[in-house]
Amino acid sequence: MLGLAVVLSPGTIAEAFANSKSKTTQKEETMTQTSATQPASDQTADKTAIRPFQFNFPDAELTDLRRRVNATKWPERELVADASQGVQLATMQKLARYWGTDYDWRKGEAKLKAVPHFITEIDGLDIHFIHVR
């Protein structure tokens, strides 16, 4: 049986932040990232080929992300005492405080970089994946 798991983590937030850039900027960065790992002749090869993928989160972007997490405008508290309406507000506020003040983003980035990352194109979309045996 196949399953899908969605995990909200600081890495996910950082990835979402990185993905909030314009499509043009993303394409330019993808070209820059792949050019560091591929010869020029390979860049024009079949886009569906599996290519190494590297990433970097500049300090300025992490500073801005931390600022935005800390500046979150929170909704009213939920009307129920359980998670039937989703994650409890207090839980999200606690996580945001941790991500905004205590979380070591560089340590998280190092963990992400400890495994090989790849990218390929499927149905016109760049798909980023990790392959570890």
Average pLDDT over residues 113-122: 95
**Domain contains 3:** no
Q: What is the pLDDT of residue 14?
A: 46
Angle 113-114-119 (CA atoms, 0-180°, nearest 5)? 50
Q: What is the pLDDT of residue 23?
A: 42
**Domain contains 2:** no
Bridge partner list, 130: 117
Number of independent structural domains in the chain: 1
Distance separating alpha carbons of residues 32 and 120, to the nearest angstrom: 15
Check whether 114 has a pLDDT greater than 80: yes
**Domain contains 1:** no
Select the more confidently predicted residue: 16 or 94: 94
**Domain contains 113:** yes
The model's pTM is 0.57
Query: Is the distance from CB of 129 to CB of 56 less than 8 angstroms?
Result: no
Check whether 112 has a pLDDT greater than 80: yes
Q: Largest Cα–Cα distance in the chain?
A: 59
Tell me which residue range forms the domain holding 89.
10-130
Around Cβ 105, how many Cβ atoms within 10 Å? 19
Q: What is the pLDDT of residue 42?
A: 55
The torsion angle over the Cα atoms of residues 51, 25, 54 and 57, rounded to 10 degrees, is: -170
User: Which pair of structure tokens corresponds to residue 23?
Assistant: 């499509």
**Domain contains 114:** yes
- DSSP state for residue 106 in the 8-state scheme: H
What are 61-74's pLDDT values in tens digits?
999 999 999 999 99
**Domain contains 19:** yes
Q: What is the pLDDT of residue 95?
A: 97
What are 28-84's pLDDT values in tens digits?
444 445 444 555 455 546 878 999 999 999 999 999 999 999 999 999 999 999 999
